[in-house]
Amino acid sequence: MGEKTVQVIYHQLEVKEFPVGTTLKQVSKSFGHNYPYDILVAKVDNDIVELGDSITKKCSVDFFDRSSALGYSVYTASAMFMMIVAVKHLFGEEKEVYIDHSIDFGVFCRIDGVEITEEVAHDIEEEMHKIYRDDYLFKKVSVSRIDAIQYYKKKKKMDKVRVLKYISNTYVNLYRLDDVYDYFYTKLAYSTRQINDFKITRIDNRGFVLSFPSTLNPECTLDYVHHEKVFEEFQRYNTLCMKLGINTAADLNEVVSSAKEAELIRLAETNYNTQLVNIASIIEEKPEIKLILLAGPSSSGKTTTARKLVTCLKSRGINIIQLSTDDYFVNKEDTPKDEKGEYDFESLYTVDLNLFNKHLSQLLDGKRVEIPTYNFVTGKREYHGNFVKLGPKDMLIVEGIHALNDLLTMSIDRKNKFKIYISPLTQMNIDHHSHVHTSDLRKLRRIVRDSKTRGYTASQTLSMWASVEKGERRNIYPFQDEVDEVINSSLIYEIGVLKTYVEPLLFCVEENDPSYPEALRLINFLRNFLPIPGDDVPVDSVLREFIGGSCFKN
């Protein structure tokens, strides 16, 4: 009898036959010419699987390299595992690595008890290159959850023990690289030879940044660019989280399981509000300030933060008039398009710059101006008699993704401006080795908000995200070093609340949808967190901007 074969349907178009039991790594070689970089992971029918898995029946397949969102998550997780193993090789198994948070195109890391000198950073990078050259396999091992917990107890890796406690699966997947076992919620690459591009940059004696290629620049790893004010805010928030004892998903889950989430919500909201009170004090002491500019990437909570800052300033006797660049969007059909011919909603030129500058100048001259309101459903500006006038001692506040760009306010002297950068700079991690990416938090926020206020499906929001990120890199991040203050809008409890809203939306993404792999990745990520009801979230919380119920009406 001849060898049994099965059909593989690639992209629903090309059909090839392979022997039963062929690995997806072998299958991928037949289609690798369609990808500019190494294929890292596959979609087989309705499941995301690693290349080490085998095909046993007729199936549809698709593949992903590091230029895709799914491939990027696989690449970065694999690179981080290589870094962890490199540290073990250099300093011994007892030295714990902490991957604290995402920053620039990488992650900030620390090693317990190790001072990070230039030599140490160089040695880690060289050891990673050695691991790459040795071409270790990333081996998946399916074990019972109880056995995994017992294993990590013996290793005294209590962060793993605690996160596995809250996973309902009978079996979990651990990954082995060399002789190190670790837990990751995402998939990993086939071998270390696929992870060929990374950089280690020492920040100070405490840590270093591991950088990788990005979906925006997949061809190579860019040099790390240090943004001191943003970095310092990460460090401040990390110190607060350590004091509260909430650094990982397990920490948050313990709070929820002991019914203490209401107190944590109050603590998180107080921290957020304190930032605004402190900034209001700084502004009050500088009478030369006439224009407050607030900007940050998508779903940072700019609108609520601007309104709450206005309240803080008004409580000090400072009258504020607020302008949103969103209300100056051009009509939808006039929105600029990108190189693919798709609407570029993140472009500066989505704003009617002539009208905005005209109104800005008139207001600063003390004239009465009718402010428009943008209708996101119809895609047009509307006028509803919203007339405003700026008094001689009043201030103007402008929020929007382009607010820090001087093209919006070219006629105003720098000494009269107060620039604020806002972003949810989360310190929440799954465990010591799996961080929560800031962009994932913003992505969850935006999916919920878009569903509630714009009628978008999760698929539509996810399909736009690449354009969103491209716009942020072009229009926001270049200006973050020019600001006077940084506001962290991350709330330590919010992933639990967002989970209750966003999971149903993610489950609605169909298996044949191009956004399905990313939706599934987010679903797997959210499984590490217990849900938190939104009942105790204050009506003036920045989170209400996304889940609804805010006291700040549009």
Residues 6+ apart with CB under 8 A from 222: 105, 211, 214
Query: How large is the average pLDDT for residues 295-323?
Result: 92
Tell me: pLDDT of 554 over 70. no
Rounded distance, CA 471 to CA 345, Å? 8
Residue 373 near residue 299, CB atoms below 8 Å: no
- Residue where a domain stops, chosen among 65, 83, 98: 65
- Ranges assigned E (strand) in 69-213: 97-103, 106-111, 139-144, 171-177, 180-183, 199-204, 207-211
Same-domain pairing of 220 and 234 = no
Same-domain pairing of 259 and 392 = yes
Going by C-alpha positions, the residue among 215, 176, 253 that lies closest to residue 72 is 215
CB-side exposure of 303: number of CA atoms within 13 Å? 16
Tell me: pLDDT of 326 over 90. no
Angle at which helices 69-91 and 118-134 cross, to 10°: 110
Residue 45 near residue 16, CB atoms below 8 Å: no
Q: Is residue 470 part of a domain?
A: yes
R_g of the chain, CA atoms, integer Å: 25
Q: Is residue 85 part of a domain?
A: yes
- Residue where a domain stops, chosen among 183, 207, 226: 226
Same-domain pairing of 46 and 124 = no
What's the chain's average pLDDT? Answer: 92
Report the sign of the C-alpha dihedral through residues 242, 244, 247, 248, in that order: positive
Q: Cβ of 344: how many Cβ atoms within 10 Å? A: 20
Tell me: pLDDT of 356 over 80. yes
- Placement of tokens 């709070």 in the chain: 255
Same-domain pairing of 85 and 188 = yes
Same-domain pairing of 143 and 210 = yes
Report the sign of the C-alpha dihedral through residues 138, 139, 142, 144, in that order: negative
Going by C-alpha positions, the residue among 518, 541, 467, 485 that lies closest to residue 186 is 518
Residues 6+ apart with CB under 8 A from 502: 444, 447, 448, 458, 522, 526
Q: Which two tokens stand for residue 302?
A: 């700019």
Query: How large is the average pLDDT for residues 67-88?
Result: 96
Same-domain pairing of 30 and 140 = no
Specify which residues 386 forms β-bridges with.
Answer: none
Same-domain pairing of 215 and 331 = no
Q: Which two tokens stand for residue 280?
A: 């209001």
Same-domain pairing of 33 and 93 = no
**According to the model, what pLDDT value does residue 222 have?**
94
CATH at residue 23: 3.10.20.30
Confidence class of residue 2 from pLDDT cuts 50, 70 and 90?
low
Rounded distance, CA 161 to CA 118, Å? 33
Q: Is residue 169 part of a domain?
A: yes
Same-domain pairing of 273 and 410 = yes
DSSP string, 160-198: HHHHHHT---SEEEEEEETTEEEE-SS---SBGGG----
Q: Cβ of 47: how many Cβ atoms within 10 Å? A: 12
**According to the model, what pLDDT value does residue 196 have?**
96
Tell me: pLDDT of 98 over 80. yes
Model confidence pLDDT, tens digit, residues 5-50: 999 999 878 999 999 999 999 999 999 999 999 999 999 998 899 9
Q: Which two tokens stand for residue 142?
A: 């399916």
Model confidence pLDDT, tens digit, residues 455-514: 999 999 999 998 888 888 888 889 999 999 999 999 999 999 999 999 999 999 998 899
Q: Which two tokens stand for residue 187?
A: 């998939």
**According to the model, what pLDDT value does residue 412 have?**
82
Query: How large is the average pLDDT for residues 296-305?
Result: 92
Range(s) of the domain holding residue 129: 70-226
**According to the model, what pLDDT value does residue 337 have?**
86
Same-domain pairing of 153 and 210 = yes
Confidence class of residue 401 from pLDDT cuts 50, 70 and 90?
confident
Q: Is residue 406 part of a domain?
A: yes
Same-domain pairing of 233 and 222 = no
Cα-Cα end-to-end distance for the chain: 72
Tell me: pLDDT of 213 over 60. yes
Same-domain pairing of 221 and 330 = no
Q: Is residue 196 part of a domain?
A: yes
CATH at residue 212: 3.30.980.10
Q: Is residue 553 part of a domain?
A: no
Query: How large is the average pLDDT for residues 419-431?
Result: 93
Strand order, beta sheet including 139-144: 139-144, 171-177, 180-183
Model confidence pLDDT, tens digit, residues 232-271: 999 999 999 989 999 999 999 999 999 999 999 999 999 9
- Residue where a domain stops, chosen among 226, 244, 268: 226
Q: Phi, psi (5° rounding) for residue 473?
A: -65, -30
Rounded distance, CA 182 to CA 413, Å? 54
**According to the model, what pLDDT value does residue 363 have?**
87
Tell me: pLDDT of 445 over 70. yes
Rounded distance, CA 369 to CA 145, Å? 64
Q: Is residue 282 part of a domain?
A: yes
**According to the model, what pLDDT value does residue 11 have?**
83
Query: How large is the average pLDDT for residues 386-401?
Result: 87
Q: Quick one: which H or E segment has residue 373?
A: strand 373-375
Q: Is residue 381 part of a domain?
A: yes
This prediction has a pTM of 0.88
Q: How far is CA 249 from the centre of its chain?
A: 16
The structural domain count of the chain equals 3
* Percent of the chain whose pLDDT exceeds 90: 73
